[in-house]
Structure 1
């Protein structure tokens, strides 16, 4: 076995390093990058000794390594989504399940969801206050939750209403547990894990009823929702997914396709209010029926404000050579999405918000990585991209978004996602009303 070689890192106590990452993740990794370079070692109670990587070649080596070399860490999101979740399985089973889950989120089926996204967006924005500053993130959460619920389960019903109330609670407690690492046995029947198990049991009961109803549906073959497709799906050997596997997979899709997309949309509002020139060009493009700048803007928002700033892997082989480093079996690897997106060689003037950098081009497979990379790249990336595009198009068509001179909203760690601390605050006026923007708002726009 070759000699182990790990990068240097801070010598502060693990609890201090963990608190720094919890309170000021972006500032912490940037400070450590400035001190130690594109690789450094951290020690944190939840993850133990972890190697943080920001070198493009070394990150590519990790993302392209086989499943026998690297895999999800032992303490993964699979703990919360269940053993049948795409987050929990590895190797051949992961490939089998991913193959079944891919069709609903690509191609013709993907375009079928566009009208649904616009409908839910229009329903939500009809409640927005006019001329009064408000936080957009809760609205974005409702839009993305309603969209994914309808895409996954199809028609409305009592069970979907129950899930609308339950899922935000389930996501919140799971995120808190993932961030704080409260042991599962702690506090017995009254602690956070007990609450999580209660929410999960309720979820399983609701989904069980929906599965029964879908199985009995004589028109199941005509349905486009994910549940109907999974119930009819077959592996290459003719086997089907079990009910528990379906429940786990649907929970994965519902949660992963909900909060992260909504958070990116809130960041989009936050960025556009502080860049009025881009905002004006986007409105003109919408009116002309175009979409190139809008697509570039969403790429740039995800680059400068990645919602998930780390992708975690663990060495499974006896050892693994990653560029300059030789890593032992069990070594945790944190791929820093934020530091990759900060790379001046990949993205000149990287700290600036500049959607024009993506006009006519896209970030590289292993450089712009808001959805992760390799065989575990987010399966819903195409769906999320479509959803954000339709939501932003609808907002720009329906409302005038008033710019601001307020400072940037800081990043707030929510347990899994990095969100704008003030939830993407906005002031809007309906464009259809041909209103006159108050002089105070015009002054703010001119100053911006």
Structure 2
């Protein structure tokens, strides 16, 4: 069985025409309209309205609850607002899909990578740290292992890891799915990255989960101005990184020494063999940073979405019944629609951002000066009644058919910085959900919806996405 692609996974509506041809193209007219920077700076700065709260209050409210704060302020002041945010400083927050499209399609010389970004915890060699030409070149190296034939090869891994984890699941009693999903997605990405199992991967299974949990929390906080010692959160993060680097150094040497190195199709081997257009290669430190990025970004958000999927379908018997019926076939149209609706109604990553490099950047009627951050409020976009009638309802039906989702659907961000692993994550969620449905009866519940819990960067079900399962005597299909 192979998954059926969904339109938004190859969506070009938020993508600017690149110099290296890596991304899908949109028309030059779209780019001309979208890239509205003002190099001469002749237009005066014109910032959107925002709350009159003191800067400290704005920062505190945003730090305590991004979703509540942005929702309240946009309802009062409109879909584009000015705020002073923790970490990012003076910012414009956008909850308008047309302006999000304009931002994501803009010239990367005008607006680039948001500052600061996740490279603070992932390392300076991570794709999150790179901008402009360096970013395009790196994405070109990272793209092949996460598209086309390579993704098809991973489907077996996704199913095997789901069945291995499911061996220990209890029957007839409620248990949290979030942590099991974390283990499934971590093991799957480890096998995809390193191509095999073994003692070294066991070490990474011990290091990565606490590192991701801690790093996710620290990523949304300012970096302290001085060393707070090895027992501080930043000190513990550095110690995890030291342990990780030691393991990666051993794994790199083992892969290089493999007689079949030239034919290996795991991500590490591909990166070690890859070169840029000028013949240069990634340094070992850059590879370590990039692998950490793939391991961290490649499992927490996917696992969180899966936990939300179980939380949602157990509260919607009609959706569950239709999913179970489909699971016994080779189809996946309704399962894909369910995944997309889960990503919409329970958004795991709620913003994407850019940093203004040009003297001024024109965004619709607004003129934003250099040094400002511009963040797109993805959760607000996902709840637009104009695009998703009855937006509060969980309704996979809205994603069925051949039409593209609205411009406001952005679970993986947009433009040249759109998640490189989007297809990988989508196929993984599809296979994991199908495998569970084929091997277990999922019980429905009348319990209240689980509350949304912030893990720092990602949002998860507060109770862990609890379900009650019973093994099927005979698997479906």
What is the CA distance between 1:365 and its match in structure 2? 7.3
The runs of 5 or more residues in structure 1 that have no matched partner are 435-448
What is the CA distance between 1:222 and its match in structure 2? 2.2
1:75 match: 116
- The aligned runs of 1:272-287 (5 Å cut-off) are 272-287=313-328
Q: 2:129 aligns with which of 66, 77, 88?
A: 88
Native 8 Å contact 1:15 1:45 kept in 2: no
In the superposition, the TM-score normalised over structure 1's length comes to: 0.94
2:4 match: none
Q: 1:19 & 1:400 partners in 2: Cα distance?
A: 44
Native 8 Å contact 1:310 1:335 kept in 2: yes
What is the CA distance between 1:29 and its match in structure 2? 2.2
Native 8 Å contact 1:113 1:151 kept in 2: yes
Q: After the TM superposition, which of the residue ranges 262-271 and 424-433 deviates more from structure 2?
A: 424-433
1:359 aligns with 2:400: yes
Q: 1:402 & 1:28 partners in 2: Cα distance?
A: 35
Q: After the TM superposition, which of the residue ranges 348-357 and 177-186 deviates more from structure 2?
A: 177-186
Native 8 Å contact 1:308 1:417 kept in 2: yes
1:126 aligns with 2:159: no
- The aligned runs of 1:396-411 (5 Å cut-off) are 396-411=437-452
What is the CA distance between 1:115 and its match in structure 2? 0.3
Q: 1:54 aligns with which of 84, 90, 95?
A: 95
1:295 match: 336
Q: 2:208 & 2:403 partners in 1: Cα distance?
A: 34
Native 8 Å contact 2:115 2:373 kept in 1: no
Native 8 Å contact 2:88 2:115 kept in 1: no
Structure 1 residues 199, 184: CA separation in 2 closer, same or farther (over 3 Å shift)?
A: farther
Q: 1:14 & 1:198 partners in 2: Cα distance?
A: 34
Native 8 Å contact 2:157 2:188 kept in 1: yes
1:229 aligns with 2:294: no
Native 8 Å contact 1:372 1:378 kept in 2: yes
Q: 1:421 aligns with which of 462, 465, 475?
A: 462
The runs of 5 or more residues in structure 2 that have no matched partner are 1-40
What is the CA distance between 1:6 and its match in structure 2? 1.1
What is the CA distance between 1:15 and its match in structure 2? 3.6
Q: 1:19 & 1:414 partners in 2: Cα distance?
A: 17
Q: After the TM superposition, which of the residue ranges 36-45 and 260-269 deviates more from structure 2?
A: 36-45
Secondary structure of the residue aligned to 2:219 is helix
What is the CA distance between 1:92 and its match in structure 2? 1.1
1:195 aligns with 2:249: no
1:271 aligns with 2:312: yes
Native 8 Å contact 2:62 2:85 kept in 1: no
Q: 1:114 aligns with which of 142, 155, 162?
A: 155
Secondary structure of the residue aligned to 1:388 is helix
Q: 1:36 aligns with which of 61, 77, 86?
A: 77
Query: What are the Cα deviations for residues 83-103 of structure 1, in whole angstroms up to 9, with x where unaligned?
Result: 111000111111111101100
Native 8 Å contact 2:86 2:221 kept in 1: no
Native 8 Å contact 2:112 2:357 kept in 1: yes
2:219 match: 178
1:20 match: 61
Over aligned residue pairs, what C-alpha RMSD do you find?
1.5
Q: 2:275 & 2:321 partners in 1: Cα distance?
A: 49
Q: 2:137 & 2:186 partners in 1: Cα distance?
A: 27
Secondary structure of the residue aligned to 1:203 is helix
Q: 2:274 & 2:368 partners in 1: Cα distance?
A: 40
Native 8 Å contact 1:14 1:45 kept in 2: no
Native 8 Å contact 2:63 2:86 kept in 1: no
Q: After the TM superposition, which of the residue ranges 67-76 and 24-33 deviates more from structure 2?
A: 24-33
Native 8 Å contact 1:184 1:193 kept in 2: no
Q: 2:415 & 2:260 partners in 1: Cα distance?
A: 37
1:169 aligns with 2:210: yes
2:412 match: 371
Q: 1:69 & 1:364 partners in 2: Cα distance?
A: 28
Q: 1:97 & 1:127 partners in 2: Cα distance?
A: 40
Q: 1:212 aligns with which of 253, 267, 282?
A: 253
What is the CA distance between 1:241 and its match in structure 2? 1.1
Query: What are the Cα deviations for residues 260-299 of structure 1, in whole angstroms up to 9, with x where unaligned?
Result: 0000000000110111101000101112332110011101
1:305 match: 346
1:390 aligns with 2:431: yes
Q: 1:32 & 1:401 partners in 2: Cα distance?
A: 39
What is the CA distance between 1:25 and its match in structure 2? 2.9
Secondary structure of the residue aligned to 1:334 is strand
1:439 match: none
Secondary structure of the residue aligned to 1:290 is coil
What is the CA distance between 1:193 and its match in structure 2? 1.5
Q: 2:125 & 2:295 partners in 1: Cα distance?
A: 15
Query: What are the Cα deviations for residues 356-408 of structure 1, in whole angstroms up to 9, with x where unaligned?
Result: 11111354474211000000000000000000000000011111111111111
Q: 1:423 & 1:198 partners in 2: Cα distance?
A: 28
What is the CA distance between 1:308 and its match in structure 2? 0.3
